[in-house]
Amino acid sequence: MGAIPGDPVVLRRTGQHYRETATAIRTAVADLEEIARPGAMVSLAIDRVREDAARLASEIGGAERRYAETGDALVDFAAALEAAQEEAERAERDAADAAADEQAASRRASALREELRGLAPDAEASETRTLERSISGLATAAEGFSAAGAAAEQRHADALAARDRAAEVAIGRIRSVVEGSDLNDSFWDDLWSSIGDFFEAVGQVLLAIAAAVVGAILAVVAAVLVLIAAVLVVVAALVLLGLAVVAALVVAAIALAALVIVVVAAAVLAFIAVAIIAGVLAITVALVLIVTAALALILATVVTLAVLILSSPLFWALVLSAVTFLGAVLAWRVAIEIFAPTPEVGEFAPDENDRQSLAAWQRANDVERMDSLDDFVAAEGFADMMGGESQTVVDIKRIEGEPPRYVVTLPSTQDWQAAGVFFGEDMNGDGAVNDLDTNIVLRLFPEVRTQYERAVMEAMRQAGIQPSDPVMLVGFSQGGILAGHLAANRSSEFNFQAVLAYGAPIDDMAIPPKTEVVSMQHDGDVVHTLDLTARPPDTDTWSTYSVPVPAGTNPTTGQPYDAQPHNNAAYEQTAQDLLSADPTIDDGFSEFFGEVVEQEQYAFSE
């Protein structure tokens, strides 16, 4: 026996997403039907749009039924799965209790048999009968406990069977609505077949896949809306330009009229002036007509192209294909991250042939004190260079004082192999776990424990960090994302007292007030804006510093800092500049200032 796998909360949330999608489709169908309703306007373009709207409303109406029935099936299955898990858990507890009771009765009966065998030959007959009755009663009780255990095991099996029946019903409902829809094709048949297999294997992955697909659809729709807005802006700009040209010509005409009045006043030049003015007016009129005609032609062309593109089935087919491809890739990467085992974590041993890694390791271990904001940023740079693309290296330093205090430095993204699908490379290559996959999962699915997170937690345990020991997390870019994620979602496992994150989108993370947070953001660094959230207001425990990229040259690359706003060296210079302007900005981290009494680097890879 064992716990029935699956996450009813994930399934229920996925079903609700599908229901919401069905409602959105229903609204879109109503809007399209309204467009398709005959009206007073008549033209070839309007008729074409109305016909396409009617056809599109009819086609996607079937999609609404598919999403609605799929959402209902998922919600119903979530309830059945939850009930089966609860019954299985009760049965497992009952079976364990029965087994313990049976063992206790058997041991007691064995002890009494030994006592019976050890009685003297002249022992009282009543004593013998008492022992025999006790042994018989214990044997009967053991049989009862055994029967109770068997009944509990049967209840567990029945719960599993109920789960399987509910899954088959849900799969049947989904297949029924998919196979009965006019939208079927070989791709959708394969996709829903895969979803059926997914139901039987691991229900909890459905949320990740469904949420990824829905998120990709919303992203594409947003991109289409931005494109439409851009077209409208261009049209408006052209109209304004035409008005400006006309206004300029009118002013020019008025000026010419004034010139005519002045010239007419001069009798000697009257004839010549009249001829010149007539010629200029003729040229002006011709220019006005040419410019007006050109603007009208451009405007008509833009509007016609926009209507043709948005009403083309090919355009929407391309959009659907792109959404499907991106959703499949995203779901694949998320599934790999979920099912990958926790990497093996061990002490880091630098490769003597890798000069950069070896030098970074030596500099990291030469650190004797941590006394300011830029010291933490410098340690982040060493962690990035120690690991590189081949492995992830986490630096853990113990600071003097009691209770033990630790600074855990998390490296930024070093392995971008997930993007290799666009360049014909292997997306599953071995290497550092602080890769593009982890970025995607950390931002889109915070409830999933990535390989990076699991390995960091294991490294902390190997370093001897206890749940109550104060811990400061330091991270740049992806390292900052993981730092904020751990403080927001794993504070029940370790005592995260401080977070330093920079160049990282953490503005929307629910980090508890007990954690001191300092976030640095460069103007022009787009990475920290990827959470699509405005900068949070400063509080007693959370300070955000949004500043321009510092002046000067990056000593590592030789390029100006403003050419690389998302760079650890640039943020180290920013930390120094901020401290020069206000030496108190890192006072919230003072608990983690002091002598480094112990330090170790831990390495792991996929």
pLDDT band, residue 223 (cuts 50/70/90): very low
Which segments of 400-551 are extended strands (E)? 405-410, 470-476, 495-502, 516-522, 542-547
Q: What average pLDDT is seen over the chain? A: 80
* 25-39, 237-251, 571-585: range with highest mean pLDDT: 571-585
Q: Where are the domains of the chain?
A: 8-203, 214-330, 344-604
Better-predicted residue by pLDDT, 427 or 10? 10
Better-predicted residue by pLDDT, 351 or 212? 351
Average pLDDT over residues 191-217: 42
pLDDT band, residue 45 (cuts 50/70/90): very low
User: Is the pLDDT confidence value at 274 over 80?
Assistant: no
pLDDT reported for residue 130: 87
Better-predicted residue by pLDDT, 431 or 501? 501
Q: How far apart are CA 99 and CA 156, in angstroms?
A: 15
Q: How far apart are CA 173 and CA 72, in angstroms?
A: 9
User: Is the pLDDT confidence value at 595 over 70?
Assistant: yes
- Classify burial at 536, counting beta carbons within 10 Å of its beta carbon; exposed 0-12, middle 13-18, buried 19 or more: middle
- Classify burial at 439, counting beta carbons within 10 Å of its beta carbon; exposed 0-12, middle 13-18, buried 19 or more: buried
- Tell me what percent of the residues of the chain surpass a pLDDT of 90: 37
User: Is the pLDDT confidence value at 271 over 60?
Assistant: yes
**Residue 359: CB partners within 8 Å, gap ≥ 6?**
385
User: Is the pLDDT confidence value at 424 over 60?
Assistant: no
Residue type, 341: P
pLDDT reported for residue 131: 85
Q: What is the CA radius of gyration of the chain?
A: 36
pLDDT reported for residue 567: 95
Alpha-carbon dihedral sign for residues 524, 529, 534, 539: negative
pLDDT reported for residue 17: 75
Q: How far apart are CA 54 and CA 241, in angstroms?
A: 37
User: Is the pLDDT confidence value at 511 over 60?
Assistant: yes
Average pLDDT over residues 526-532: 92
The secondary element (H helix, E strand) that includes residue 164 is: helix 125-179
Average pLDDT over residues 222-230: 47
Average pLDDT over residues 507-536: 95
Q: How far apart are CA 595 and CA 312, in angstroms?
A: 68
pLDDT reported for residue 584: 95
Q: How far apart are CA 561 and CA 541, in angstroms?
A: 29
Alpha-carbon dihedral sign for residues 314, 320, 322, 328: negative
Better-predicted residue by pLDDT, 179 or 424? 179
pLDDT reported for residue 242: 53
Residue type, 58: S
* Weakest-pLDDT range from 56-65, 134-143, 301-310, 320-329: 56-65
User: What pTM value is reported for the model?
Assistant: 0.51
pLDDT reported for residue 301: 86
Better-predicted residue by pLDDT, 499 or 100? 499
Name the residue among 373, 448, 372, 384 with its Cα closest to residue 411. 384
The number of beta carbons lying within 10 Å of the beta carbon of residue 441 is 26
User: Is the pLDDT confidence value at 600 over 70?
Assistant: yes
Average pLDDT over residues 541-568: 94
Q: Give pLDDT tens digits for 335-347.
A: 777 778 999 999 9
pLDDT reported for residue 316: 78
Average pLDDT over residues 160-188: 72
Name the residue among 394, 586, 573, 568 with its Cα closest to residue 500. 586
Residue 320 CA neighbour count, 13 Å, CB half: 11
User: Is the pLDDT confidence value at 252 over 70?
Assistant: no
CB 490 within 8 A of CB 461: no
User: Is the pLDDT confidence value at 386 over 70?
Assistant: yes
CA 81 to each of CA 193, 203, 467: distance values in angstroms, whole numbers, following the listed order:
20, 9, 33
Peptide bond into 8 cis (omega under 30): no
pLDDT band, residue 8 (cuts 50/70/90): confident
The secondary element (H helix, E strand) that includes residue 29 is: helix 8-36
* 29-38, 427-436, 575-584: range with highest mean pLDDT: 575-584
pLDDT reported for residue 251: 59
pLDDT reported for residue 176: 78
Q: How far apart are CA 84 and CA 157, in angstroms?
A: 10
**Residue 184: CB partners within 8 Å, gap ≥ 6?**
178
User: Is the pLDDT confidence value at 425 over 50?
Assistant: no
Name the residue among 161, 156, 169, 171 with its Cα closest to residue 206. 171
pLDDT reported for residue 226: 43
Better-predicted residue by pLDDT, 243 or 395? 395
Residue type, 465: I
